């Protein structure tokens, strides 16, 4: 009898043990699922698509109209830990896939008190250069494209390197200091004598030992109940490695001897402001002025065997925005931007003998061209916000070139020809302001 009771008791204990094992297995699976779910909640996805129609009024542009996907971005942000963030953002635009951002941000946790508590961060990888319009997202910008001066000196906008950022507690000041490879996405190599440049396409690998240093500082003021004002400045110090034996300056007279491997300097400074007013539905006025010295590399040969020189040009450019909200669904924007890639000569001087190279041994037939002309662009834009995620934009850019001179026969000193669809040849006369305007209709969807 006792033997039978013991057997029943052992059977019950075995069933309870099996049940515990099953419950523990469920607990382990639940813990694993909770851990996986916790990781997933740290990942955030965002992005936007810009689908647009463009109409080009420059007769040399063919086709004169087209549909395109200007930007197709998907951004993944992973909060690995408190103060640690990973970001990856590719662009999937058809025919031009590229990695826009890939960086990690580390926030300081060693300072536990005072104005520098949690005020210091380090960013490393590929990210925006330190400039207002560069860092201002394309999904928020009030006109379709960045100003010409920014597109010219910061092609591609991004660079590979690191950034130290300081935002002191209780002080409306932000200071950024960065170091970059310097050749990321840039147009670094003069390809011929017409002022055209070839791009560096291997941006993940630096080709010289020179690095770019950038700094930017901004300070914010509160203007009572009216709004606020941000002011700031940024500086850029960079160099390119010379591939030739001479550097021609943008006055087309000054020539410096150089050796292969020498530094060709590129330095400039900018001052900025952004004024925001909470009046009549909201408005803002913002702008920036940048001036300095840019450079392009020579090295290729003329037909006569002479080496193409490096070219170092003094430049200046600026832009001003006026943005006004119209009710809750509409917004009007106007931007005036100006860029002079060569402040040493006037448009009327382009291609005349004085600016056609004075040293045949070093310069060959290199001379001024349309690359030295200044451009002014007036951009008008109207936005309709269908909801928080969809924006429809109608924009019109009025582009005006600096005029070149004419010779004794009245012919322009610089012109370019193009072929029409019917095979006839047309001419853009740079002694006049010819039509280069552009219409853009854009539908943007964000998520």
Q: Report pLDDT digits (tens) over 8-17.
A: 566 665 666 6
Q: How far apart are CA 156 and CA 133, in angstroms?
A: 13
What sections of 95-147 are H helices per DSSP? 132-135
Residue bearing the bigger pLDDT, 396 or 190: 396
Mean pLDDT along residues 45-65: 95
The length of the chain, given as a count of residues: 447
3-state secondary structure at position 84: strand
Mean pLDDT along residues 245-251: 87
Q: How far apart are CA 128 and CA 117, in angstroms?
A: 25
Q: How far apart are CA 158 and CA 134, in angstroms?
A: 8
DSSP result, 143-206: SSS--HHHHHHSTTSEEEEEEEEE--TTS-EEEEEEEE-S-TT-EEEE-STTS-EEEP--TTS-
What six digits make up the tokens of 84?
């640690």
Which CATH superfamily, name and number, covers 49-446?
A: Porin (2.40.160.10)
At residue 330 the predicted structure's pLDDT band, cuts being 50, 70 and 90, is very high
Give the pLDDT of residue 362: 46
pTM of the model: 0.87
Radius of gyration of the chain (CA): 29
The burial class, CB within 10 Å (0-12 / 13-18 / 19+), for 17 is exposed
Domain residues of the chain, as ranges? Answer: 49-446
Average pLDDT, the chain: 86
């Amino acid at each position: 009898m006792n033997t039978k009771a013991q057997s029943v008791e052992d059977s019950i204990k075995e069933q309870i043990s099996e049940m515990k094992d099953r419950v523990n297995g469920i607990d382990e699976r639940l813990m694993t699922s909770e851990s996986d779910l916790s990781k997933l909640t740290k990942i955030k996805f965002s992005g936007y698509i810009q689908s647009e129609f463009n109409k080009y009024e420059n007769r040399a542009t063919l086709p004169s109209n087209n549909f395109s996907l200007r930007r197709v971005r998907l951004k993944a942000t992973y909060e690995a830990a408190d103060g640690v963030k990973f970001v990856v953002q590719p662009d999937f635009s058809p025919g031009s896939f590229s990695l826009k951002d890939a960086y990690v941000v580390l926030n300081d946790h060693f300072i536990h008190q005072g104005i520098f508590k949690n005020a210091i961060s380090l960013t490393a990888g590929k990210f925006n250069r330190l400039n207002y319009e560069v860092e201002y997202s394309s999904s928020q910008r009030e006109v379709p494209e960045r100003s010409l001066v920014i597109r010219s000196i910061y092609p591609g906008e991004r660079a590979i390197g690191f950034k130290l950022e300081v935002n002191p507690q209780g002080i409306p000041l932000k200071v950024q200091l960065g170091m970059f490879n310097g050749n990321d996405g840039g147009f670094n190599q003069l390809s011929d004598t017409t002022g055209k440049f070839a791009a560096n396409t291997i941006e993940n690998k630096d080709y010289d030992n020179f690095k770019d240093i950038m700094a930017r500082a901004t300070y914010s003021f509160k203007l009572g109940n009216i709004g606020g004002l941000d002011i700031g400045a940024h500086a850029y110090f960079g160099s390119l490695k010379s591939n030739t034996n001479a550097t021609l300056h943008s006055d087309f007279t000054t020539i410096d001897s150089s050796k292969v491997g020498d530094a060709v300097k590129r330095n400039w400074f900018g001052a900025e402001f952004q004024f925001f007013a909470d009046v009549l539905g909201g408005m803002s006025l913002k702008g920036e002025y940048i001036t300095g010295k840019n450079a392009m590399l020579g090295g290729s040969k003329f037909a006569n065997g002479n080496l193409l020189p490096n070219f170092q040009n003094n430049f200046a450019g600026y832009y001003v925005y006026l943005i006004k909200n119209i009710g809750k669904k509409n917004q009007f924007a106007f931007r005036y931007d100006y860029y002079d890639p060569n402040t040493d000569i006037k448009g009327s001087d382009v291609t005349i003998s004085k600016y056609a190279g004075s040293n045949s041994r070093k310069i060959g037939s290199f001379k001024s061209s349309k690359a030295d002309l200044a451009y002014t662009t007036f951009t008008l834009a109207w936005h309709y916000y269908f909801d928080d995620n969809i924006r429809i934009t109608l924009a019109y850019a009025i582009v005006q070139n600096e005029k070149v001179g004419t010779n004794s026969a009245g012919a322009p000193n610089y012109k370019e020809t193009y072929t029409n669809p019917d095979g006839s040849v047309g001419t853009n006369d740079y002694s006049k302001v010819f039509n280069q305007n552009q219409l853009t209709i854009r539908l943007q969807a964000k998520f």
